[in-house]
Amino acid sequence: MARRYFGTDGIRGRVGEGHINPEFVLKLGWAAGRVLSGGEGGKVLIGKDTRISGYMFEAALEAGLAAAGVDIRMLGPMPTPGIAYLTRTLHASAGIVISASHNPYDDNGIKFFSADGNKLPDRIEELIELEMDKPMTTVSSARLGKAKRMDDARGRYIEFCKSTIPSKWNFHGLKVVVDCAHGATYHIAPDVFEEIGAEVIAIGAEPNGLNINDGFGATKPRALASSVRVNGADVGIALDGDGDRVIMVDETGEIVDGDEILFIIARSRLGNGGLVGNVVGTHMSNLGLEVALRGLGVGFERVGVGDRYILERLSEQGWTLGGEPSGHIICRDRTTTGDGIVSALQVLAEINKTGKTLGELRHGMDKFPQELINVPLGSVRAADVMANNAVTNAVHAVESDMGDEGRVLLRPSGTEPLIRVMVEGREADLVAARANSIAEAVRALVVG
């Protein structure tokens, strides 16, 4: 069945519009509680990022879950991967994240983890949507769910992050700038890197409910690059609002994206025998990553855009590593979902082991020039853009020009009302011109 509410990463949108309102979230909590607990109570964890609307939706979810007879553990501000970890280790029925990830503060969303710390499969999301169609009921007073706050959630997750690298290694003398995007990692990430011995300079670590992702974080790493240069740091680490993605900066202030981070971790795992199977990327992964991995004798597979599809392929095949250029890196030998802090730690471990700088570690992968243009949809449906003759003709013309020397990807965003136009090839000027030719065809349709 076609899903009405869930997108590629939960339910997301502008606060107060569409489904992102207290009434809908109240019933969503009730429906999810009934489906995920199997009607047998249990407990569900609720965590959130630092958006001001998180308080409102936290209360709505709590009420809905309690009405379904489910106990609640409130984690407060907690990175998405931290909620996944705690859901698994606390043997909860599910974990719920209130976050819109890298979006601005006036967006918010709800996403779920199953009891094993994985994102919900489509069939479970479909069952929740079916439950939403039923009248909301309340269990008897004796069976109402009880809510408690977990005071040690932060400490538990910090210890888990540190456990993903060898405890015997000493990071004294390493100066690190950590950009928390004024998001859910603000009170966690600086402590993780300090506790392994690094000297830490924290930026983007003063959330006020309105400044999440505003000029800081993985989607805006220029502030991090500047801070690395000004402070003479060895490495910079930029997390996004909910902490499930990471972009890094080398000692010269150059940005190191998710493809390069994935290559560094894959080469490290290959060297110590820890890489199982192929590496999984998406249709957005740079062709240079595929070529570099092939040079190491490592297979590379592409799946649809979205970390859930990477995880599905890794799980199906029993493989251990995948990621996206946006910085969603899944080290399945360490955890069950994309984790910005854990991924950064794997890179720091490689710096420590080899004695090389991050700038030196990124050598070995030459990125192909890539142009990504986001075209707002306005009132036009994404499906109408994808089926439009003028747009498809523009795509075919570019593909014909490039032959085997490049790629074109045209797709709707899974989280925002945008069409993403990506062109990749060997010559930067031609790549930019070809991407713009397709984007103009899309804009012509949108403007009408």
Domains located in the chain, CATH noted = 11-150 (3.40.120.10), 174-253 (3.40.120.10), 257-367 (3.40.120.10), 370-447 (3.30.310.50)
Strand order in the sheet with 255-256: 199-203, 175-179, 235-239, 246-249, 255-256
Instruction: Name the active-site residue from 53, 93, 101, 114.
Output: 101
pTM: 0.89
34 neighbors 27 (Cβ within 8 angstroms):
no
Active site residue 413: no
pLDDT of residue 110: 97
Sign of CA dihedral 68, 72, 75, 78: negative
pLDDT of residue 115: 94
Distance CA 236, CA 341 (A): 12
Distance CA 124, CA 188 (A): 31
Q: What angle do CA 94, 97, 101 make, to 5 degrees?
A: 145
pLDDT of residue 1: 59
One digit per residue, the tens of pLDDT, for the chain of length 448 reads: 567 899 878 999 999 999 999 999 999 999 999 998 877 778 999 999 999 999 999 999 999 999 999 999 999 999 999 999 999 999 999 999 999 999 999 999 999 999 999 988 889 999 999 999 999 999 999 999 999 999 999 999 999 999 999 998 889 999 999 999 999 999 999 999 999 999 999 999 999 999 999 999 999 999 999 999 999 999 999 999 999 999 999 999 999 999 999 999 999 999 999 999 999 999 889 989 998 999 999 999 999 888 889 999 999 999 999 999 999 999 999 999 999 999 999 999 999 999 999 999 999 899 999 899 999 998 899 999 999 999 999 999 999 988 877 889 999 987 789 999 999 998 999 999 999 999 999 999 988 7
